Structure 1
Amino acid sequence: MLKLVGAVLVLGAGTLAGFYQAQQFAARPRQLRELILALQRLETEISYGFTPLPDALERIGVSLREPLKSLLASAALYMRPDYGLSAQDSIRKALGEYWKRTSMKSAEREVLEQLSGVLGTSDRQDQIKHIALAVGQLKHEEAAARDDQVKYEKMSKSLGLLIGALIVILIF
């Protein structure tokens, strides 16, 4: 009886691990789409709204889902006079705190870190140009993420179950 319970637990753990990995493949394109929309809103705020960067990030972050909501709110907070960090330092610090909560990869982080060096330090037109460039790069990454989702989401679910079954067979 104890062996049966152990086998069920191992099989369940493998299946859950597979479903978790599949969820990560599904979440990455959604988070990239949200990030692209947030950057497009930031571009609008900079070009038409003349909104200070911390206020714009805070306003944009309110409409997003976690973890991007916390990432932008944290970056905006670090730009406030209480902390006094530059836009680049604020965004990098927020990325350091919240990046592990996202499903995104290092390529997207590099895009955001490169963009952070321009925000708040150059004129409006240059910032708009760099945001558009970042959006283009993120759209490319989103397409790759959608391809990965199609290729690997179902496979991850099946593989988790099969690895759990293999472990049960090998143990018992």
Structure 2
Amino acid sequence: MIKMLGAVLVIAAGTMAGWLKARQFANRPDQIRRLIQALKRLETEITYGFTPLPEALRRIGKQNHAPIRSILMKAAEGMDGQAGMTAQESLHKAIHEEWGHTAMKPAERDVLYQLAFSLGTSDRRDQLKHIETAVRQLEAEESAAREDQAKYEKMFRSLGLLTAALIVILIY
């Protein structure tokens, strides 16, 4: 009876591990898409709203879901008068602290780091060009993420169950 319970627990744990890894492959393209939409909203705020950067990030953050929301809100908080950080410092800190909660990879993080160098330090036209470049790079990453999802999502679901079944067979 105890062996059977142990086998069920091992299979459940392996299956859950596989499903969690598969979920990362499913979440990554969606998070990249939401990040692209957030950057396009930021572009609109800069172009038409003439909104200060911290307020624009706060507005866009409120319209998003976690983890994009937490990155934008933390960046806006850092730019407020009390923290006294520049836009670049604040964005870098927010990305560094919140990136672990995303399913995105270092390539997307690097795009945001590069964008942070120009936000708040150049004129509107230059900032818009940098945002457009970041959006194009993220769209390419989204395409690659969708390909990875198609390749690996099913595989990891099955792999978790099969690995757990192999462990049960080897143990018993």
User: What TM-score range do you get, normalising by the shorter chain?
Assistant: over 0.9
Report what 2:71 is aligned to: 71
**Partner Cα separation in structure 2 for residue 170 and residue 148 of structure 1:** 31
Report what 1:107 is aligned to: 107
Gaps in structure 1 of 5+ consecutive residues: none
TM-score (norm 1): 0.99
In percent, how many aligned pairs have the same letter? 61
Q: CA deviation at 1:97?
A: 1.1
Per-residue deviation, residues 15-42 of structure 1 (Å, max 9, x unmatched): 0000001110000000000000000000
Q: CA deviation at 1:48?
A: 1.0
What amino acid does structure 1 have at the position aligned with 2:10?
A: V
Q: CA deviation at 1:170?
A: 1.0
Give me the CA root mean square deviation: 0.5
**Partner Cα separation in structure 1 for residue 167 and residue 144 of structure 2:** 32
Gaps in structure 2 of 5+ consecutive residues: none
User: Which aligned runs of 4 or more in structure 1 are off by greater than 2 angstroms?
Assistant: none
Report what 1:30 is aligned to: 30
Per-residue deviation, residues 45-89 of structure 1 (Å, max 9, x unmatched): 111111000000000000101111111000000000010100010
Q: CA deviation at 1:96?
A: 1.2
Does the residue aligned with 1:117 lie in a helix, a strand or coil? helix
Does the residue aligned with 2:103 lie in a helix, a strand or coil? coil
Does the residue aligned with 2:41 lie in a helix, a strand or coil? helix
Report what 1:19 is aligned to: 19
**Partner Cα separation in structure 2 for residue 95 and residue 130 of structure 1:** 18
